[in-house]
Copies of this chain bind each other. A is one copy, B any other.
Amino acid sequence: MSPTPPVPPVPRRSDATRAAILAAARDRFAADGYERATIRAIAKDASIDPSMVMRYFGNKEGLFAAAADFDLRMPDVSGLSHRELGIALVTHFLDRWEGDETLTALLRVGVTNPAGAERVQAIFQEQVAPIAAAVCPDTAPGRAAARAALVASQILGVAMSRYVLRFPPAAAMPREEVVAWLAPTVQRYLTAERP
């Protein structure tokens, strides 16, 4: 056996091509959903041949899985008051949603594709539940996950209304008003005693 050298920081060769494909895939999945987003269209957006997409990612689901690996970049909320907590989280979610259409893509795909639904669930479970566990008053097993699911329900709902379905009243509502309405809700789901 040859001694395996430590893996170099960038093992892949043509990372630029991969990145271009992934960026185009995120756009298309976000705009069209999983079914309507065709590999052909994604490849065209990336100025590359459709067969390259297959070569890099195997099949369409593999492409989506690679494009949907998403970090919510949840902020550090330790030391915040309950009131500040709700405002910080809602503001952060609005920032993330407006700054990166990957989340809209995730939501669109999650609705029509089981693998997409699992990705959405995993992302919120892994990244929001720890915050809930850190601040919620009850300690029984599964309670942090339940509170994280409540927060996710309100966040996903406003994202649906504002960015996916684009309800005129929701889409036109100023950011500050969305935060003012939703922050107490999120705060209560995380910190209130169980009703």
Chain A residues close to B by CB (< 8 Å): 32-33, 35-36, 107-108, 110-112, 117, 120-121, 124-125, 142, 145-146, 148-150, 152-158, 160-162, 164-170, 173, 177, 180-181, 184-185, 188-189, 195
Q: Which residues of chain B have C-beta atoms less than 8 A from A166's C-beta?
A: 117, 121
List 13 interface pairs A-B (beta carbons < 8 Å), by A numbering: A33-B33, A33-B112, A110-B165, A117-B166, A125-B167, A125-B169, A146-B173, A149-B167, A149-B173, A152-B167, A153-B170, A157-B160, A180-B195
Question: Which chain B residues border A117 with CB–CB below 8 Å?
Answer: 164-166
User: A35-B33, A146-B173, A170-B153 are known contacts. Are A111 and B165 too (CB-CB below 8 A)?
Assistant: yes
Chain B nearest CB: distance from A10 CB in Å?
35
Given A120-B165, A153-B170, 9 extra CB contacts under 8 A: A108-B111, A111-B111, A117-B165, A121-B165, A153-B161, A154-B157, A156-B165, A157-B158, A185-B185
Roughly how many angstroms separate A173 CA and B107 CA in the complex, as a whole number? 22
Taking the full assembly, how many copies of this chain does it contain?
Answer: 2
Nearest CB to that of A160 among chain B residues?
B156
What's the minimum C-beta distance from A8 to chain B, rounded to whole angstroms? 38
Given A145-B169, A165-B111, the answer on whether A153 and B154 have CB atoms closer than 8 Å is yes
Assembly CA distance A110 to B35 (angstroms): 14
CB of A136 to closest CB in B, whole Å: 13
Q: Which residues of B contact A177 (CB under 8 A)?
A: 195
